[in-house]
Chain A
Amino acid sequence: MNSMLGWLNPVTLFREQVEIAKKLCKGAEVLAGIREEELTADTAPKEEVHRDGKMRLFHYLPAVAEPLTTPVVIVYALFNRYYMIDLQPDRSLVRNLLARGLDLYVIDWGYPDGTDRWLTLDDYVNAYIDDCVELLRQRHGVERVNVVGICQGGVSSLCYTALHPEKVKNLVTMVTPVDFHAGRSLVPDWIQAVDVDVAVDALGSIPGEMISLGFLLRSPFERNLRKYMDLIDIADDRDKLLGFLRMEKWIFDSPDCPGEAYRQWIKDFYQENKLIKGEIDLGGRVVDLGGIKTPVLNVYAEHDDLIPKESAAALERYVGTDDYRVCSFPVGHIGMYVSGRVQRDLPRVLSDWLHEHD
């Protein structure tokens, strides 16, 4: 079979075609029975407790009678939707953390439009996040809350903790870039050459599709062709197909990014690497990572091709706390949310650490 040009064997080819045809027929049957409603993610019960503009703060209903005293607020990235952390019931970081006794809140940035084009990172950090934290302090009667920042949300959380240390009890950063020039990755390399001023002046808010395209092009054949070719293998399995479709929905559900926030994100963070230099200015105050004295748990992916592990792991060198712990998983960026191993281990690591530090 594996002889030279063995694929030309007509019997093999015929068998393959028959097998593919069978799978496609079965897949079409399964697909025809699936409706958009079944792709709904973010199914853990929750209530809206705060709203400001497009931003909403949700409270997940606790799954245990006496959850952890200090509430946890999850700050997700601006570029994707937060429901990746609760994509489906059996692959849900949220449900796993709730089951382990955490009292969870999540910030939903919504879908910014033209009216949000002038929002800056200062607004996100010092207004939106701060309002949410303030609300939780009052709601729970606590001085400080736990903050979990994911991806770009991790950077916002770092900035917030550095600027408002008195309000953060523990900080968890997940797949968060810190040294934007460390490690090799296509996207950061591309971003270095981007004229972000022209982009923002021309487009206002940056279309989510454009950002999404940049992510997809970093491995064009794998992310745009092979995954659809491999779909044949799971097309006849309803559960797997549902999982694939949910992921597909998340990938292309990219909100626009407010122009001014995007300008600062690209220029100050990616191009000038100001975070580690202590030169980020938010609302007239300088972000000094060395000023973070709260306990920090840094979680990153070892095979992340979007945020190189060197970039995430660099936090250790710049953060001012003595209570710093790191935890890495042998997965890629998306694997941090959906990998079976991460789903099994990450909630335990997170909740144990937060319980220890409560």
Chain B
Amino acid sequence: MSVLFELPFDLWRRVMSSSVGAEGDGSGHDQDGSDVVDVPLDLVRAVSEMFELGAVLLRWVEGLGQPAFDALRAAPWSGGQADDAAQRQAGRLRLFWDAYASVFGELLQAPGIGPSRELNDTLLRWFGAWLDLSRASSHQAELLARTWLTVQERFPVELLGRSLRGEGPATVRELLGLYMEVAEEAFGETFSTQEYVEAQARAGGTGLAYRLREREVADVLAKVTHLPGPSEVDEAHRNIYELRKEVRSLRRQLLETRAQGTNRAPRPRSAGGGGPGPGPTVSDTVQGDGEKEG
């Protein structure tokens, strides 16, 4: 990235210094004639760096445009590589993300600067997570779209087949029922494939990662506004949980101590007895404390 700015600056500096040097005596030539050689050399360097700059810019443009070229090449009218509608659709879906990732996506990963560095970085990570989510969702949507296409292909075949066998649907509901049957089967097949399982997991995982980044942003904003952030609340919940555990443990110890003291071990009740036998009542044991915990 920096080379993009350094090169023209360096170029400008060198050309300007050359021009100033040239204007120094109004002739463009030093007494010893050395500048006669220096000026063309600078120019050669400058021209060479311009080419270098051009190459860098070309690489950027290529990064931005290559996916588009690939997609065009794969398009059906080009007689290219596309062999079905799903592939073309997939190519189009990936076009934006590939182009984006090769240019701005990389830029977003660079460290921030200035006093708002932390907030900016958090926001950028959040944005980056959103990009990942969008990309993963696109892939999942692509697989689902492919499945819809399969359903559209299979349904008329199934309808015709059944009709020829004299088992065609007689009502709209039966027709819809058949459509759903075909769709259920097609989606069931897709849902069972490893590709879909992975795509779904990736979409879910990136969605959750996005949520994590969202929490980070909320934490930063809460800190700025003097409010407890999600992480602090989570920590408080953890403390409450640990205190509850401690209370439960102490309560058990207390009951065991009481039981040992009064020798009230549970006794088997005789068969055919009536209702619940005596023993510590609920309020004696846990209900009271439980209410507090609830």
Contacts and interface: CB of A to CB of B under 8 A. Distances in A.
Partners in one complex: yes
Interface in B241-266: 241-242, 244-245, 248, 266
Given A5-B163, A7-B174, A49 B200 contact: no
A192 to B, nearest CB: 7
B263 to A, nearest CB: 14
A59 B238 CA distance: 31
Interface string A77-106: 000000000000000000000000000000
Interface stretch (A139-147, A173-181, A246-254): A139-147
Interface residues on A, range: 35 or more
B214 to A, nearest CB: 8
A219 B171 contact: no
Interface stretch (A152-160, A197-205, A291-299, A333-341): A197-205
A5 B282 CA distance: 69
A128 B28 CA distance: 94
B170 A69 contact: no
A2 B170 contact: yes
B50 interface: no
B294 A139 contact: no
A1 B170 contact: yes
Contacts of B169: 6-7
Given A4-B163, A143-B266, A229-B176, A118 B238 contact: yes
Contacts of B171: 7, 12-13, 16
Interface string A208-235: 0000000001111110011001001000
Contacts of B294: 51-54
A2 B277 contact: no
A2 B167 contact: yes
Interface in B145-168: 159-160, 163-164, 166-168
A4 B168 contact: yes
Given A69-B269, A117-B234, A190-B201, A202 B170 contact: no
Contacts of A222: 180, 184
Contacts of B268: 141-143
A131 interface: yes
Contacts of B289: 52
Interface string B199-242: 01100110011011001000000000000000001100110111
B198 interface: yes
A95 to B, nearest CB: 20
B191 A186 contact: yes
B192 interface: yes
A234 B9 CA distance: 79
Contacts of B108: none
A189 B200 CA distance: 11
- With a 10 A CB-CB cut-off, give which of B183, B191, B233 has the most chain A CB atoms: B191
A321 to B, nearest CB: 22
Given A13-B171, A52-B286, A6 B237 contact: no
Nearest to B240: A115
Contacts of B290: 50-53
A52 B248 CA distance: 9
B233 to A, nearest CB: 7
Contact of A2 (B168, B266, B282): B168
A139 B180 contact: no
B187 interface: yes
Given A202-B212, A203-B211, A219 B200 contact: no
Contact of B168 (A7, A140, A186): A7
Nearest to B159: A5
B234 A204 contact: yes
Contacts of B173: 16, 20, 229, 232
Contacts of A49: 282
Given A195-B205, A226-B180, A52 B293 contact: yes
B188 interface: yes
A200 B2 CA distance: 40
A7 B170 CA distance: 4
A141 B192 contact: no
B197 A192 contact: yes
B277 A193 contact: no
Interface in A1-36: 1-7, 9, 12-13, 16-17, 20
B177 interface: yes
A232 B174 CA distance: 13
A135 B282 contact: yes
A260 to B, nearest CB: 9
B241 A118 contact: yes
A199 B90 CA distance: 28
Contacts of A114: 233-234, 237
B279 A141 contact: yes
A61 to B, nearest CB: 10
Interface of A: 1-7, 9, 12-13, 16-17, 20, 49-54, 66, 69, 114-119, 123, 127, 131, 135, 137-143, 186, 189-190, 192-195, 198-199, 201-204, 217-222, 225-226, 229, 232
30 contacts: A3-B166, A5-B168, A6-B168, A7-B168, A7-B171, A7-B175, A49-B282, A50-B285, A52-B289, A52-B290, A54-B294, A69-B271, A115-B240, A115-B241, A117-B241, A131-B286, A135-B285, A137-B266, A141-B266, A142-B266, A142-B269, A143-B266, A186-B192, A193-B200, A194-B204, A194-B205, A195-B201, A203-B211, A221-B180, A226-B177
Chain A to chain B: the 7 pairs with minimum beta-carbon distance, closest first: A193-B201, A138-B279, A141-B277, A141-B269, A4-B163, A118-B241, A202-B211
